[in-house]
Structure 1
Amino acid sequence: MESAPSLLSQDQWRLIDQSTTGLIMPAIQSFAMDDTLCASVGAHLAPATARTWVHDNTVVLGIQDTKLPYLAEGLDYLRSEGFKPIVRNSGGLAVVLDKGVLNISLILPEKEKGIDINRGYDAMLELIRSMFAESGKNIEAREIIGSYCPGSYDLSIGGKKFAGISQRRLRRGVAVQIYLSVEDSGGRRAELIKEFYSLALKGEITKFTYPTVRPEVMASLSELLGKPLTVQDVMLMLLVELKARSGYLYSGQLTPHELDLLPGYYERIAERNALLEKP
């Protein structure tokens, strides 16, 4: 039986680069942006889109994190460390964003038969492996116990996690999202989340099992590859790879239709985040 073609092979890719402008945007706007793109790309009003984004000193919580018994104490700790907590509109658990973490979203149309959930994850895994093929390192996809936001598509080198993949499906559009810990210390980011859970749980037994974070199982790509690597270095690798996979790669912005959609999606996630604001 012939295998399905790679989801990375598109007639054209639109790139929306917010790897620098994202530093002055509220992080919740990124999640509204991906929902907007899902609606537009899913309706075939825009081509397959890759969006890159970086936000400074933000901890993105999952919906389950908002049910922690001592959440307020955990949030106070994050704020005291200079991090803004937000909650995303999808699954998963707490992750750290800062200037050294590059996020990539691939927004694809579901088309007639739809995109199997593993096929979406596999496309992102294929992309990252291709981008870093010259390193000679084996990038594995499996759950790394002790990492924050653990999942079956944790990406690791030598048992140390540097990335996590998630998916968001909306209006026949699929956003496959990854955070890549590129610069600085992956372990230091993990220490922040470890302390957050310690304060927000206080050892209580809860229905949902939160991760016991072990900072030693997390690292950045700079650490794992043994050389300084910047977000902009990885951006260039992404551009080269997308160009090789498409008939046409171009840099674009939101269309007028997408600009009309964005405020509605932003309002929805802003309402969810109002619950985290201090009284």
Structure 2
Amino acid sequence: MTLDLLKQKQWRIIDQSSVGPHFHALQSFGTDDTLCEAVGSGKSPSTARAWVHHRTIVLGIQDTKLPFLDKGLAYLEEQGFQYIVRNSGGLAVVLDEGVLNLTLVFQEAEKKIDINSGYDAMWECVKEMFADFPVDIEAKEIVGSYCPGSYDLSINGKKFAGISQRRLRNGVAVQIYLCVTGSGSERAGLIQNFYSISKADEQTKFHFPNIEPDVMASLSELLQVELSMADVMFRFLTTLKNNSNHIFAGSLSQEELTFFDAYYKRVIERNEKMLERE
């Protein structure tokens, strides 16, 4: 089932990895919702999207329940980061110029795509992207990482990626962030401080991770190679080409742009509501 998901008749590629600092993360989540509807309805082919956002903390809904969230958000602003609340699961993650995000969007037609199959497809994709390195890329929870989950991707126990899913109108968007360059432990230290300030010593209804920065690293650190975004993009495109009869570069169609206007507005409104304080 996993390989069947990666092997599509055609892959449309939407590359937004070099749009720049004015490309806001809320646009990305509006775009993935748009692609879920378009691909899920059969109006568009299976689509792969690459995206990069500058100095942005993406919070989970659970993070908005932190008792001293205002102080934590003020800290992030002091560090030069903006923040949003995403519409898929999980907890806080760091996006910056050294983090490449990839989305694979599939149609869930008469045969349902179970959740693990979606995760496995992205895991297989990443393993194939870096198959020339003599390393074992594992999928298991890395305790002490930010946004821990059973599909944390790691090498020698150090996490470099996390996967999430968004399901909407028969479309399945599997999203991953890949820490390509920079210091994984420095990113983790930022989130560690955010939780320390936002939670303090209060007892909370929800569990928040105790961050251990040393369990996180970038691919450049783990592979001991100075990777570039262009190099990783080439690996991504090559992997998709090897699993398809045809790949082609594209952008949102006119019909998709109509969808996007509505979804983007919804994402903005939802984000504002999530960040309202009582």
TM range, smaller chain? over 0.9
Aligned to 2:96: 98
User: In structure 2, what is the Cα distance between the partners aligned to 1:7 and 1:22?
Assistant: 31
In structure 1, the residue matched to 2:36 is 38
Partner SS state of residue 249, structure 1: strand
Q: How far apart, CA to CA, are the structure 1 residues paired with 2:31 and 2:129?
A: 25
Q: Is the 8 A contact 1:140 1:156 kept in 2?
A: yes
Question: Which position in structure 2 is the counterpart of 1:254?
Answer: 252
**C-alpha separation between the residues in 2 aligned to 1:37 and 1:165?**
18
Matched letter for residue 116 of structure 1? D
Corresponding residue SS for 1:106: strand
Q: State whether structure 2 residue 137 is matched by structure 1 residue 154.
A: no
Unmatched segments (≥5 aa) in structure 2: none
Conservation of the 8 A alpha-carbon contact between 1:22 and 1:53:
no
After the TM superposition, which residues 223-262 of structure 1 pair with which residues of structure 2 at under 5 Å, given as runs?
Answer: 223-262=221-260
Aligned to 1:183: 181
Q: Aligned partners of 2:19, 2:256: CA distance in 1, in Å?
A: 18
* Displacement after TM superposition at 1:4 (Å): 6.7
**Matching residue of 1:213:** 211
State, as a whole percentage, how many aligned pairs show the same letter.
59
Q: Find the counterpart in structure 1 of residue 263 from structure 2.
A: 265
Give, in whole Å, the separation in 2 of the partners of 1:258 and 1:76: 36
- The answer to whether the 8 Å contact 1:129/1:139 transfers is yes
In the aligned structure 2, how far is the partner of 1:168 from the partner of 1:198? Answer: 29
- Counterpart residue type for residue 91 of structure 2: L
Q: What is the Cα-based RMSD across aligned positions, in Å? A: 1.2
1:75 to 73, 76, 100: 73
Which one-letter code corresponds to 1:14 in the other structure?
Answer: R
Provide the C-alpha distance between the structure 1 equivalents of 2:271 and 2:110, rounded to a whole number of angstroms: 34
Contact 1:14 1:249 in 2 (8 A): yes
1:11 matched residue in structure 2: 9
Q: CA deviation at 1:6?
A: 2.1
- Measured in 2, the distance between the counterparts of 1:181 and 1:61 equals 17
Aligned partner letter, 2:169 = R
Change (3 A) 1:5 1:101: closer
Question: Is 1:50 aligned to residue 48 of structure 2?
Answer: yes
**Alpha-carbon spacing, 1:22–1:35, altered in 2? closer, same or farther (3 Å):** farther
Match of residue 130 from structure 1: 128
Return structure 1 stretches of 4+ with deviation > 3 angstroms: 275-278
Q: Deviations over 1:141-172 (max 9, x none)?
A: 00000000000000000000000000000000
1:204 maps to which of 202, 205, 218:
202
Indicate which of 89, 106, 111 corresponds to 2:87.
Answer: 89
